[in-house]
Structure 1
Amino acid sequence: MINFGLRLTLRGGREALTRLLVIAGAVAVGVTMLLVVLSGINGVTSQDARGAWMRGSGPAPTAGTPSDPVWVLSGTDTFHGKEIIRIDVAATGPRSPVPPGLTRLPGPGEYVASPALRRLLRDAPAAELADRYPGRDAGTFGAAGLPSPDSLIIMVGRTPQELSGADNVQQISSIATAGDTYATNMVKLTLGVIAVALIIPVLTLIGMATRMSAARREQRYAAMRLVGATPKQVSVVSAVEATVAAAIGTLLGFALFTAFRSPLSEVPYSGVRFHLADFRLSLTDVLVVGLGVPLAAAVAARIALRRVRISPLGVSRRATPAAPRAWRVLPLLAGIAELAWFVGRRPPTVNGQLAAYLAGAAVIMLGLQIAGPWLTYRGARLVAGQARRPAALIAARRLADDPKGGFRAVSGLVLALFVTSAAIGIITTMTARQGMPEAMRRNPMLTSSVIVDFGSDEGGPAIPDAFADRLRAVPGVRGVVPVHVNPAFDPHFQPGPGADPAAVVEPGLAACADLARVPDVGRCAPGATVAEVAQELTGEFFGDPALTAAHVWRTADVPADRLERLPMLTVVVTTDGSRGAIERARTLLEAAYPLRPYAPYLRTEFFSRDQRLLRQYQQLTEVIIVVSLIIAGCGLAVSVVGGLNDRKRPFSLLRLTGVQLSTLRRVVALESAVPLLGVAVVATATGFVAADLFLRAQLRYTLRPPDPGYYLTVGGGLAAAAAIVASALPLLRRITGPDSARNE
C-alpha cells in the first residue's frame, strides 16, 4: 500500500502535485522557523555558560587541587550608551583560578580586554575612554570567556592590598562554569512560547493542505473500501502523501536553515548576538525535528481524512452535525479566572510564579481552541441575521452548517495572536513604566549630568578643589555639584500619600555657590549658604524626577565650613549633553574614584539599559504576528481551494441558474473573512486581558494599550492574509463551467 500511495502522490496529476508542493512549502517554513528557535535556545544556554565565570565563585576545589584565592570586584561602566563589564582582580598566589579565555590573570598595572573593547580603546580618544584603565595592555580575552563577539569586557590587575578593602569585593577559589540565571531561563521560556506560536499555524496549514479535495478523495477511498481495502490500508494510503511532502519540506527546512545560519546568528535574541558556534542544533534537536515533523504530518493527514473509516458507504450517509453549544466557552473563562485569582496573591517563588501564569495561559489557549467553533457559529448567525444580499446569506448558512471546518482554517492563528498580543501588552506596559519619566525628559541639563554615587550609609571622600576645577575646565561641563551626606536624614522614612513635601528631610546637602552655577536643577533661598537637596538633584519622593529652575531647595541648618567635612553622597557633573563632555567627565571621575561597583552614570542610562532588550522582543513579536497571519492566510487559501474543488458541481449549477460569478466570489470571501476577523478580534482581546491580569498580579501595573504601530502591524498582516485568499478566487471561473455540472 505504501508503493500505491507513492504512485498516487507522485503521479496523481496536477492536483496531486499542487497539494504536494503546498504541504512541502508549509513544512519548510515551519521547520526553518522551528530550527531557528531551537538554535536560539541553544545559543542562549551557551551564552550564559560562557559568561558564568563573571557571576562569582564556582564549586569548592577538591582536596587534591590546591588553589590560591583571588580577590574579585565586578562592576559596570558605560561608553556612548554601550555597557562595559569591568572586573578588577588581585591574585594571592601562583595557583589562583583563571577564567576561560585567558592563560593567566593580569598583574598589578596590567589589563586584558575583549576584542570589541580593544577596538573601542583604539578608536576613541584616550581622554574619553582609555584613561579610565591605566596600565599596560597584557593581552586579549579568548572566545571561551566571552558571551558574545560584541561583549565589552575588561579585567584590570590590582594588588591584594588595593582590593581587599573595597566595597562589594569577594574572594573566590574557583571559577563558575555553569550558567542558569533567571534572565536566561526567561529568554528560553520566551523562545519556547514563540516556537509554539509559530509551529501550530504551520501544522494547521498541513492539515488544511491534506484536506484539499477531501470530498472526492474520500469517495475514492470509500470505493477502495468497497473493493476490499481495509481501514488500515486506506489510512496508510492517505498518510503517505502528507508524509512524503513533510519529509521533502523537512529536508528543505534544514537546507534553508544551513544556508542562512550565519546571518541568523547575528539576531540579538538575548540583547547581544551569538558566536556562530553557539547558534547550533544538538543531535536531539535534529532527530526530534527530522523524525517528529513527518510523523506529525502523517497524524494530521490521518485525522484529516478520518471520515473515510466510518464505513465503505459512510461518505454518502453523512449528515449535518449538531450546532456547537455555549459550554465551549467555559474552559476559556476558567483560564481567565485562574489568572485573575492570582491578582493580589502572587506566589512567593519564581518557580511558583511560572507555574501559576503558564498554567493559566495554557488553559486559555486550550479554551480558545475549544470555543472557536462556537464563536464561528455565533458569528455566522450574526451575519445571517444582518444579511441583505444572497452572498452573505449563503456564506453564513455554510459556516453555520460546518463551524468546525470554518474555524479549523484559522485555529493556528488563535494561539499566535493570543501569545503575541499578550507579549506586546506586557512589553509595552513594562517599557512605559520602567522608562525614563516624561518630566525628566524635559530637563536636558539633568539627563546629561554624570553622577557618581558613593552610597547613602557611610559616603565617600570629599572632592578636592583642584579636581573640581579640572572637571569644570572640560569643554562642555557647566557645573560640578558635590552632594554631602545629611546627618538629619532618616533612610528608613517613607512619606505617606498625603505627606507635606516641606516636612521631608532631603538625603543630601549642597553648597548654594555650586547650585548657583546650575540653576536648571533648583536654587537656594535668598541668603542661604547650604541647602537640603535630593541625592541626584531629583525629587524622588513626590514623583517629580526633574526639578526646574523655579524650585527652591530648603535651607539647611548646617554651616558651610562643616559641610566640607561631611562625607560625599554623590557628585553631579552637569554638561551641555555633548558626548565628548559626558565621556571626558566620566573618565576623570572614574580615574579619581576607582574600585567602585558602579561607575559614573547618566540618569538616562539608569532607565534605558533594560529597555533595549524589551524593544527587541517587541520587534520580534511584531514579526511573529505578521508571519503567523501570512501562514493563516495560506491556510485559508488552501481551505478555499479545497472547498472550491469539493463544490464544483453545486457552484456550476448555481451559475447555470443565473447566479453571477461575482456573487459566488463574495460567498467564498465572506466564508473566509468571518472566521479570520472574528478569531483575530477574540484572540487579540483575550491576549490583552491575560496581559493585564499578569501585570496586575506580578508587577501591580495596569495594562497600557500598545502603540498604533501594533494595530497597523496586525492590520497589515490581516490584509496580507486576505490578499492570499483573494488570489485563489480566480479559480472559480475555471472550475464552475457547464462541464462540471454533469453527473459523474
Structure 2
Amino acid sequence: MIRLGVRLALGSGRDALVRLLIIASAVALGTGLLLGTLAALNATGTQNDRNAWLNTGRDGSGQQRPAGTADPLWWQIGADGFQGRLIGRIDVAATGPTSPVPPGMPRLPGPGEYYASPAMSALLHDTPAGELADRYPGRQAGTIGDAALPGPDSLVIVVGHRPAELAGQRHAVQVRAIATRSPSSCNGPSCDIGTDNNGMVLILSVVAAAMIFPVLVLVGTATRLSAARREQRFAAMRLIGATPRQIAVISAVESTVAAAAGVAAGFCLYAALRPLLAKADFTATPFFTSDLSLTTADVLAVALGVPVAAAVSARIALRRVQISPLGVTRRTTPRPPRATRAIPLAAGLLELGFFIGRRPATSGGQALAFLPGTLLVLGGIVLAGPWLTMAGARLMAARARRPSGLVAGRRLADDPRAGFRAVSGLVLALCVTTGAVGVIDAMVHERGLPSSPEPVRHTVLSDHTDYLPGRTVGTAAEPSGSLLAALRAVPGVGGVTVLHSDPAAAPGAQQEYGGALADCTELAAMPVYGTCPPGARTARVPTGFGGYGLDHDRSWPSVWPAATSSPEQVRDLPVTQIAVTTDGSRSAVETARTLLAAAYPADDPPYTVAEERTRMSADLDAFRQLADVVIAVSFPIAGCSLAVSVAGGLSDRRRPFSLLRLTGVRLRTLRRVVLLESAVPLLAVAAVAIATGFAAAQLFLRAQLSYSLQPPGGEYYAIVAGGILAALAVIAATLPLLSRLTGPENTRNE
C-alpha cells in the first residue's frame, strides 16, 4: 500500500503532479514562516540575555557588591542620547589588575580611553566632534564585540577614568563582578535594562498565540487541497474492494509525501529569509543573524510534526470514505454544523471575564490565566465559523434575486465547512488585529502623553538635582560665563535659563511655584516656558521644566510669581537645572548637549524633552511595535491561506461547474457564484471576529489593567478595509481560471 500511495502521488498524471507541487509549495511557505517565528522567539531571549551586564551595580537597594576576590571596579551607567537615539554610557575605573572586565572587550579602558560599539564608532566618525565626540574625553581604544550588544545598531560606549574621578560621584558604585543574570529571569530594579520576566512572558505569549496559530491554519489548508477529488477517487477504490485501512494508508502516504517535500523546501526558505528576518523589530532593535537559531526540539517538532499533521488532516478529510464510499459517489450532503460549535468561543470570553477583579499577582500566573482564554477565543472562531457561514448562506439564499445568489447560497449551506475553510486565515487575522489595536489604543489613552509645542520638545535640559525627603535641592555650581556665552552663540539656540534652588521653598511646593528661582531676563528669551510679572527681576518656578506640556495633571501658569531675591543673589544658589531652547536642528541640539555634558561630566547626561517623552512611553512603543509585527505577519499568512483555498476549491468544483455551463449557465454567472461563495463567509464571520476581538480586548483590559476599551482610530479601519479588499482581490484574481476549468472534457467522472 505504501508503494501504491507513492505511485499515485508521483505518477498518476499531470493533475496529481500539479496538486503535489501546489501542496508542497504551500506547506513550504507555512513551514518557513513557522520556523522563522520559532527562531524569532529564540532570538528575542538570546538578545535579551546580552543586556545582563548592563545591570551591573543594581539590586533592590540600588547598589550591588557581589562577593569575590577581584579588585573592585568603579562603575557608573547613564543614558545619553543623539537625535532621539539612546546611547548607553558606562564610566569605569579599575582599582587593580584583577578588576572585572565587561563582555565584548579584551580589557578595561584606561584613563583617557573608551571602547565603542560598531554603530557608535560609525556615529562618532560621521558626526562633528562638537556635536558628539567631545562628550567623551580621550581616544578610542577598541570596539565592543557583539557579545555585549543587544543588537547591531546598539549605541554603547565604555569610558575609562581614574578611580578618584568616579569615587566622589553620586551614581558611581563599586562592584567586584559583572552581572550575568538575564533580565528575562527577574523583575524589579536588578533588571531595569532589558525586558524583564513580565515583558518576556507577554511577548512570547502574544507571538505564540497570534502568529503560530495562523501559520498552522495555512499548513492545514494546504494539506487538504483537492480533498473533494481525492475523496471521489478513494471512494471508487473502496467500491472495487479496497478496505478502509488500505485507503487510510494510501491517503496518509500521499499527504506525507507532499508535506515532507514542503517541509524540506520550508527549511530552505527559512535559510533564505533568515537575513531579512534579522531586521524584524520585536524589541526596538534588530537581531544579529546568529541570534536566529533553532533548537533541536524546534527542528524535530517541525520536521516530524508537519508531515504527521498532514497525514491526520488527510485522514479526517476522508472520513466519509471510511464510513461509506456510496456517500461520496452519490454526492450526499454533509451533516450541517450545529450551534454547539460556538461553545468554545463563549467559553474563551467567559474565561477572560472571570479574571476581572481576580488578576493573578505573578507574571506566570497571568500568562496561565489569559493565554488559555485567548487560545479558546481563536480556536472558537475557527470552530464556530462553519455554523456562522451556514447561517449567512441560508439568509442569502432566502433573499436571493439572481441565480448566482441562489446557487451560491445553496452550495454554501450544503457544505459551509469548505466555504469557511477558505477564509479562516483572514478571519483569524482580523480577530487578532482587532484585539491588538483595542488593547494598544486603550493603553495609549490611559498612559499616553499629550503633545507639546515644538520649542518645548527640542529644549535641551541638564539636570543637577538631589531629591531629599520633602524637597529637591541643586547640586551644581553656577555655569561659567564662557559656558553660557558658548551656548547662546550656537546657531539655532533661542535662550538659556538657569534654575537655582529656592532656600525658602516650602516642603511639597517645590514642584510647582517655589522649588527654584530663575532670572527674568533669561526667561524672557524663552517665553514658551512662561514669563515674569511686569517689573519683576526674578521669579519662582518649578525645579525643572522637564514635564512642561507633558503632564496630564499639571497646569502651569504663563506668568510665574515674582520672587524677592535679586539676580545676583540667585546666581549664588546651587543649580537644579539648565534649560536651552533650540530650533530642533541637529547641530543646535547636539552642540548644546555636548557643551553641557563637558561642563558637568559628573552629572546625568543632558537630554531633550522629546527624548524624555519617548522614554516615558517606552513600554507603549514596545507594545505598538509588537502589535505592528503581529499584524504585518498575520495578514500575508491569511492571504496565502485564502489563495490556496480558493484555487483548490475551483479545482474541486470543476465538474459541477462544467455541468452547469453545459446546461446553459453563463460564465459570468459562475464567476458571481465563486465570488459570493467566498465573500459571504468572509463578511459574515469577519463581523463576528471583529466583535469578538473587541470583546476579548475589553475583558483583558478590565482584568489585567482596569482600563476600558476606546474607539479605534482611522488606522484600524484602514487596516480592516485593506485586508478585506485584498482578500476580494485575491478571489477575483482566480476567476479567470473558470474558463479553463469548466470545459466539456471535465464533465466526465474520473
* 1:140 partner amino acid: T
Q: Is the 8 A contact 1:524 1:554 kept in 2?
A: yes
Structure 1 residues 370, 256: closer, same or farther in 2, change over 3 A? closer
C-alpha distance 161-723 of structure 1, shift in aligned 2 (>3 A)? same
Report the Cα distance in structure 2 between the residues aligned to 1:278 and 1:652, rounded to whole angstroms. Answer: 53
Q: Quick check: 2:349–2:373 contact (8 Å CA) kept in 1?
A: yes
CA contact (8 A) 2:203 2:626 kept: no
Query: How far off its partner does 1:522 sit?
Result: 1.2
Residue 676 of structure 1 pairs with residue 682 of structure 2 = yes
Corresponding position of 1:293? 306
Cα distance in structure 1, aligned partners of 2:541 and 2:583: 22
Residues 36/452 of structure 1: CA separation in 2 closer, same or farther (3 Å cut)? same
Equivalent residue, structure 1, for 2:187: none
Task: State yes or no: 1:92 paired with 2:95.
Answer: yes
Partners of 2:464 and 2:577 within 8 A in 1:
yes
| Residue 401 of structure 1: aligned partner | 414
Q: 2:150 aligns with which of 147, 150, 167?
A: 147
Partner of 2:463: 453
The 1-side partners of 2:405 and 2:245 are apart by: 41
Contact 2:19–2:225 (CA<8 Å) still a contact in 1? yes
Report the CA distance between 1:194 and its aligned residue.
4.5
Number of the residue aligned with 1:362: 375
Assess if the C-alpha contact under 8 Å between 1:339 and 1:694 holds in 2.
yes
Q: CA deviation at 1:130?
A: 0.8
Residues 694 and 459 of structure 1: is their aligned pair in 2 closer, same or farther, counting only changes over 3 Å? farther
What's the CA shift for 1:451?
0.8
Asked if residue 264 in structure 1 is aligned to residue 274 in structure 2, the reply is no
Task: Give the Cα separation in 1 of the matches to 2:398 and 2:274.
Answer: 52
Matched, 1:472 2:481: no
CA deviation profile, 1:619-650 (whole Å, cap 9, x unmatched): 433422430331232243144224414xx2x4
SS of residue in 1 equivalent to 2:290? coil
CA distance in 2, matches of 1:699, 1:271: 23
Assess if the C-alpha contact under 8 Å between 1:231 and 1:309 holds in 2. Answer: yes
8 Å contact kept, 1:58–1:177: no
Q: Is the 8 A contact 1:222 1:313 kept in 2?
A: no
Question: How far does residue 538 in structure 1 lie from its aligned partner after superposition?
Answer: 5.1
Length-normalised TM-score, structure 2? 0.88
CA deviation map 1:310-343 (0-9, x unaligned): 1454535785455444443343233223334444
- Contact 1:32/1:253 (CA < 8 Å) preserved in 2? yes
Q: Structure 1 residues 20, 129: CA separation in 2 closer, same or farther (over 3 Å shift)?
A: same
Aligned to 2:562: 555
Per the TM alignment, residue 351 of structure 1 is displaced from its structure 2 partner at its CA by 2.5
**Shift in alpha-carbon separation, 1:109–1:654, aligned structure 2, 3 A:** closer
- Partners of 2:390 and 2:435 lie apart in 1 by 25
User: Is the partner of 1:400 in helix, strand or coil?
Assistant: helix
Which residue in the other structure is 1:499 paired with? none
Give the aligned partner of residue 192 of structure 2: none
- Specify the SS of the correspondent of 2:23: helix
Q: Cα gap change, 1:463/1:365 in structure 2, threshold over 3 Å: closer, same or farther?
A: same
Q: Does 1:444 align with 2:447?
A: no
1 CA distance for matches of 2:688 and 2:613?
34
Q: How far does residue 461 in structure 1 lie from its aligned partner after superposition? A: 1.6
Counterpart residue number, 1:196: 212
Correspondence for 1:36? 36
**Match status 1:623 vs 2:632:** yes
Partner of 1:607: 613
**Residue type of the alignment partner of 1:640:** G
Instruction: Give, in whole Å, the separation in 1 of the partners of 2:438 and 2:708.
Output: 10
* 1:522 to 2:538 alignment: no
Structure 1 counterpart of 2:190:
none
TM-score calculated relative to the size of structure 1:
0.89
Q: Which moved more, 1:300-309 or 1:422-431?
A: 422-431
Cα distance 1:537–1:242, how it changes in 2: closer, same or farther (>3 A)?
closer
- Verify the 8 A CA contact 2:41 2:204 in the aligned structure 1: yes
RMSD of the TM alignment (CA)? 3.1
Distance in structure 1 (CA, Å) of the matches to 2:633 and 2:574:
53
**Structure 1 position 718 matched with structure 2 position 724:** yes
Match of 1:641 among 631, 639, 650: 650
- Partner amino acid, structure 2, of 1:462: A
In 2, Cα distance between the equivalents of 1:262 and 1:742? 50
* Offset from partner CA, 1:183-221 (integer Å, 9 cap, x none): 445444443334314412312322431514144134224
Q: Which amino acid in the other structure matches residue 722 of structure 1?
A: L
Three-state SS of the structure 2 residue aligned to 1:425 is helix
2: distance between equivalents of 1:168 and 1:342? Answer: 42
Match of 1:252 in 2: 265
C-alpha contact 1:47 1:278 (8 A) present in aligned 2:
yes
Distance 2:732 2:95 in 1: 74
Find the aligned partners of 2:177 and 2:205 in 1 and give their Cα distance: 30
| Contact 1:206–1:300 (8 Å) recurs in 2 | no
Separation of aligned partners in 2, 1:477 and 1:411: 57
Asked whether the 8 Å contact 1:632–1:721 carries over to 2, the reply is: no
Give the aligned residue type for 1:176: A
**May I ask how many residue pairs the two structures share in their alignment?**
723
Structure 1 SS opposite 2:299: helix
3-state SS of paired residue (1:209): coil
1:501 maps to: none
Q: Secondary structure at the match of 2:291?
A: coil
Q: Is the 8 A contact 1:204 1:409 kept in 2?
A: no
- Give the superposition deviation at 1:613: 4.5
Mapping for residues 155-194 of structure 1, pairs under 5 Å: 155-179=158-182, 180=184, 181-182=195-196, 183-194=199-210
Aligned residue for 1:524, secondary structure, equals coil
Q: Do structure 1's residue 482 and structure 2's residue 498 form an aligned pair?
A: yes
**In terms of mean alpha carbon deviation, does 607-616 or 115-124 score higher?**
607-616
Displacement after TM superposition at 1:512 (Å): 1.8
Equivalents in 1 of 2:263, 2:510: separation in Å? Answer: 61
CA deviations 1:93-130 (Å, max 9, x no partner) are 22111111112112233221112212222221111111
Provide, for residues 526-545 of structure 1, a one-character-per-residue CA deviation record: whole Å limited to 9, x for no partner.
Answer: 22233232321755697387
Change (3 A) 1:742 1:230: closer
**1:209-258 Cα deviation digits (max 9, x unpaired):** 151414413422422xx52x332221110111211111111111111222
Taking the TM superposition and a 5 Å limit, the aligned residue runs for 1:64-75 are 66-75=69-78
> Residues 192 and 494 (structure 1 numbering): CA distance in 2 closer, same or farther, change over 3 Å?
farther
CA 1:512–1:352 in structure 2 vs 1: closer, same or farther (change >3 Å)?
farther
Separation in 2 of the partners of 1:102 and 1:741?
74
* Aligned partners of 1:75 and 1:599 also within 8 Å: yes
The answer to whether 1:543 aligns with 2:546 is no
Tell me the CA shift for residue 607 of structure 1.
Answer: 2.3
Query: Bigger shift: 290-299 or 327-336?
Result: 327-336
Distance 2:49 2:613 in 1: 27
2:113 is matched with which residue? 110
From 585, 591, 595, give the equivalent of 2:592.
Answer: 585
1:370-381 pair list within 5 angstroms: 370-381=383-394
Taking a change above 3 Å as real, the CA distance of residues 385 and 463 of structure 1, as seen in their structure-2 partners, is farther
Runs of at least 5 residues in structure 1 that lack an aligned partner in the other structure: 496-503
Q: Which moved more, 1:457-466 or 1:293-302?
A: 457-466
2:399 partner letter: Q
Between stretches 170-179 and 34-43, larger displacement belongs to 170-179
Contact 1:88 1:156 in 2 (8 A): yes
Greater CA drift, 45-54 or 314-323: 314-323
1:553 is paired with a residue whose SS is: coil
Q: Deviations over 1:246-278 (max 9, x none)?
A: 111111111122233234323333222222222
Deviation at 1:370, TM superposition (A): 2.8
CA contact (8 A) 1:509 1:531 kept: yes
- Distance across 2 between alignment mates of 1:57 and 1:188: 28
- Indicate the residue corresponding to 2:21 in structure 1: 21
Secondary structure of the structure 2 residue equivalent to 1:572: strand
Q: Distance in 2 between matches of 1:38 and 1:468?
A: 55
Cα offsets for 1:703-741 (capped at 9, x unmatched): 445554444344333333333333443444455455655
Q: Is the 8 A contact 1:480 1:572 kept in 2?
A: yes
Q: Give how far 1:452 is off.
A: 1.6
Partner Cα distance (1:488, 1:383) in 2: 79
Q: 1:739 to 1:291 in 2, by over 3 A?
A: closer
SS in 2 for 1:527: coil
